[in-house]
Structure 1
Amino acid sequence: MTSPVIELRDVGRAYDEGPPALQAASVTVRAGEAVAILGPSGSGKSTLLNLIAGLDRPDSGTVTVNGVRVDRLGEAGAARYRRESIGMVFQFFNLLDDLTVADNVMLPAQLAGMPRAAARRRAGDLLETLGIARHARAYPGRLSGGQRQRVAVARALMNRPPLLLADEPTGALDQAAGEDVARLLRDLNDEGQTVVVVTHDLRLAESCTSRTIELVDGRVVADVAAAR
Structure 2
Amino acid sequence: MTEPVIELSGVSRRYDEGPPALDDVSLTVHAGESVAVLGPSGSGKSTMLNVIAGLDRPTSGAVTVGGVRVDRLGEAGSARYRRATVGMVFQFFNLLDDLTVIDNVLLPAEVAGMARGDARRRAAELLDALGVARHARANPGRLSGGERQRVAVARALMNRPALLLADEPTGALDTASGEDVKALFQELHADGQTIVTVTHDLTLAQSCATRTIRIVDGRIAADVRTAAAR
When the two structures are superposed, what TM-score results if normalisation uses the length of structure 1? Answer: 0.99
Which runs of 5 or more structure 1 residues have no equivalent in the other structure? none
| RMSD over equivalenced CA pairs, Å | 0.7
1:116: Cα distance to partner? 1.4
Looking at structure 1, the residues matched to 183 and 196 of structure 2 have their Cα atoms a distance apart, in angstroms, of 14
Looking at structure 2, the residues matched to 27 and 175 of structure 1 have their Cα atoms a distance apart, in angstroms, of 32
1:17: Cα distance to partner? 4.9
8 Å CA contact retained: 2:206, 2:227 = no
Residue of structure 1 equivalent to 2:34: 34
Give deviations 1:113-168, integer Å, cap 9, x for gaps. 01211111100000000011000000001000000000000000000000000100
Are residue 113 (structure 1) and residue 146 (structure 2) matched?
A: no
1:19: Cα distance to partner? 1.1
Looking at structure 1, the residues matched to 200 and 181 of structure 2 have their Cα atoms a distance apart, in angstroms, of 16
SS in 2 for 1:88: strand
Residue identity matched to 1:29: V
Are residue 204 (structure 1) and residue 209 (structure 2) matched?
A: no
SS in 2 for 1:131: coil
8 Å CA contact retained: 2:91, 2:169 = yes
Looking at structure 2, the residues matched to 115 and 191 of structure 1 have their Cα atoms a distance apart, in angstroms, of 25
Residue of structure 2 equivalent to 1:155: 155
Residue identity matched to 2:62: T
Q: How does 1:79-94 map to 2 (within 5 A)?
A: 79-94=79-94
Residue of structure 2 equivalent to 1:140: 140
Residue identity matched to 1:156: A
Looking at structure 1, the residues matched to 10 and 17 of structure 2 have their Cα atoms a distance apart, in angstroms, of 21
Looking at structure 2, the residues matched to 105 and 226 of structure 1 have their Cα atoms a distance apart, in angstroms, of 32
Looking at structure 2, the residues matched to 41 and 50 of structure 1 have their Cα atoms a distance apart, in angstroms, of 15
Counting aligned pairs with the same residue, the percent is 74
1:18: Cα distance to partner? 2.7
Looking at structure 1, the residues matched to 185 and 177 of structure 2 have their Cα atoms a distance apart, in angstroms, of 13
1:227: Cα distance to partner? 2.2
Are residue 25 (structure 1) and residue 9 (structure 2) matched?
A: no
Looking at structure 2, the residues matched to 192 and 203 of structure 1 have their Cα atoms a distance apart, in angstroms, of 21
SS in 2 for 1:51: helix
Looking at structure 2, the residues matched to 131 and 65 of structure 1 have their Cα atoms a distance apart, in angstroms, of 30
SS in 1 for 2:118: helix
Looking at structure 2, the residues matched to 120 and 3 of structure 1 have their Cα atoms a distance apart, in angstroms, of 31
8 Å CA contact retained: 2:170, 2:201 = no
When the two structures are superposed, what TM-score results if normalisation uses the length of structure 2? Answer: 0.98
Looking at structure 1, the residues matched to 92 and 18 of structure 2 have their Cα atoms a distance apart, in angstroms, of 27
SS in 2 for 1:26: strand
Looking at structure 1, the residues matched to 15 and 68 of structure 2 have their Cα atoms a distance apart, in angstroms, of 25
Residue identity matched to 2:23: Q
Residue identity matched to 2:126: L
Give deviations 1:162-210, integer Å, cap 9, x for gaps. 0000100000000111011011011101010001100122111111111
Which runs of 5 or more structure 2 residues have no equivalent in the other structure? none
